[in-house]
Structure 1
Amino acid sequence: MNTPHISILGAAAGLLLILPAVLLVWKLKLGFNRQLITGAGRMVIQLSFVGLYLIYIFKLDSILINIAYLGMMVFFAALSGIKNSSLRLKRFLLQTFLAMLFPTFFTLFYFNLLVVQIPNVFRADIMIPIGGMMLGNILKSNIVALKTFFTLVKREEKVYLYLLATGATRNEALRPFFKEAVRTAMAPNLAMMATAGLVSLPGMMTGQIIGGSDPALAVKYQIMLMIMIFFTGLVSILIQLYFAVKQGFDSNDRFDKSVLRP
């Protein structure tokens, strides 16, 4: 079964759905029309360019280019994550990059070597799309984890100081905030796994079925991918919060508010 083609007129019809959304936002005075229009415009331009140059990347299938491209994806994910977490870029960019890079590369290597069992574990048409799906979920989880953690520390700073005064170590005093940040960040992934197939058909499975793949194979890929995404997201969050504690507190265990961006 061939994938139905989307013509230019069909694409234009799809983009027209932005207009009623813009009108609703304007009518209800929700105040994010500028972000909506800018975001939609950037999405169209960026994905159009991605579609063009991925054709050549897939044809070249160079190990060095594939690794470099994935590294670039991780960098921009880290950049976006810090900006959306309202933290100082210089203080957290490197740590966030590493917290995303190592789990992503490890899981991709594991997936390609032991699950898909392909000879070239750096194969472009497997590594880049699956890496992108992992990074999209890691990005969301890390933003939620960082925001939750620092919001709780800022709001409950007196509780934190009290726990320190009663003899708790920094890690012991921060444990309630740490656990809540991890639980909050991982809740969407847990819900997604629990409701997959009942509430929705996940993205990769839907794409493969539309592309003509056997539904049974699509299900296998989706199950494996969701497990990989959950594992990668959890490890990335734990590394991210470890670095957050290192950066967010001084040598006397006091919360350093300068890490927060006004």
Structure 2
Amino acid sequence: MMAIAIGLSSWQKLGLEGQLAIATGRTIIQLLGVGYVLAFVFAWKNPIAVLAILMVMLSIAAIVARNRIGKKIPQVLPVVWGSILASSALTLGYTTLVIIQPPIWYEPQYLIPLAGIVLGNAMNGAAIAGERLVSTVNASRAEIETHLSLGATPQQAVAQYRRDAIKAGLIPTLNQMMVVGVVTLPGIITGQLLSGVDPLNAASYQILIMFMLAFTNLVTTLLVSQGLCSQFFNNNAQLK
């Protein structure tokens, strides 16, 4: 399929042949590499190894979201990293310990795949909300300073921009929830169906995952937007 895609790009003179080839190679190498690593971790079942993988995934997600938001804001990486950590840990802790209840809390068969789904969506939510908030504040400096001069607190001056950013960060998740099972079948339920799992069980897992993503994205965008808002002002409540 990828060879045909590269051929079509060449035929239509799109100039995407190199990018498609590199993307194909990276997909094969990265996923096979992850497969070997996870096979080892699944067999070892060591909590330190599981937590190490989760920390690497978390850090990469935070760096990617930070790059989307912008590097000029001070402390943006710790804000994003901490926000994703808090929301993901809360979601995974509840899901693993209360709902799934594996034999051991760090069971890699459950914890790592669920963490990958949650972290990826938290990263996207943080990036969208953070980028929207930063760009809106930069474009509305005069309005914010007017609010401040009239006695508004920094949080009041940017409250509407923060709410808009949070809503923007949740749009992809809400759209997906609106059409799941009707227009699209996500990867989790599709993979389970292909492996022969009972359709009702597969649907139940997908429902759980959708609720996990909605909760994680909301908490992440709340924390990221709050953390970023605190970086926009100095100790004298002046816009930086």
Q: TM-score, normalised by structure 2?
A: 0.91
1:104 aligns with 2:88: yes
Instruction: After superposition, give the CA deviation of every residue in 1:145-189 in whole Å (9 maximum; x if it has no partner).
Output: 011001100111111111111211110110110000001110111
Give distance in 2, aligned partners of 1:216 and 1:98.
36
Deviation at 1:97, TM superposition (A): 1.2
Q: CA RMSD in A?
A: 2.2
User: What CA deviation, in whole Å up to 9, does each residue of 1:35-61 have, x standing for no partner?
Assistant: 665544433322121011111011011
Matches within 5 A, 1:65-214: 65-88=49-72, 91-214=75-198
CA contact (8 A) 2:6 2:21 kept: no
Cα distance change, pair 94–117 in 1 and its aligned pair in 2 (3 A)? same
Q: Give the TM-score normalised by the residue count of structure 1.
A: 0.84
Rounded to whole Å, the distance in 2 between the matches of 1:168 and 1:39 is 50
Secondary structure in 2 matching 1:16? helix
Q: What is the identity, as a one-letter code, of the residue corresponding to 1:15?
A: M
Q: Offset at 1:205?
A: 0.7
1:25 deviates by 8.4
Q: Is the 8 A contact 1:79 1:93 kept in 2?
A: yes
Count of equivalent residues: 240
The residue that corresponds to 2:6 in the other structure is 19
Flag the 1:17–1:249 CA change in 2: closer, same or farther, 3 A: farther
| Percentage of pairs with the same residue | 28
In structure 1, what residue type is equivalent to 2:6?
L
Instruction: Call closer, same or farther: CA 1:255–1:41 in 2, change over 3 Å.
Output: farther
Alpha-carbon distance change, 44 to 253 in structure 1, aligned in 2, over 3 angstroms: farther
Work out whether residues 103 and 235 of structure 1, in 8 Å CA contact, stay in contact via their aligned partners in 2: yes
Structure 2 portions without partners, runs of 5+ = none
Shift in CA distance, 168/193, structure 1 to aligned 2, threshold 3 Å: same
Provide the C-alpha distance between the structure 1 equivalents of 2:191 and 2:225, rounded to a whole number of angstroms.
33
Q: Which amino acid in 2 is paired with 1:19? A: I
CA displacement at 1:26 relative to structure 2: 5.1
Whole-angstrom CA distance in 1 between matches of 2:195 and 2:155: 49
Q: Could you give the per-residue CA deviations for residues 53-81 of structure 1, whole angstroms, max 9, x where no partner exists?
A: 11101101111211121111101110111
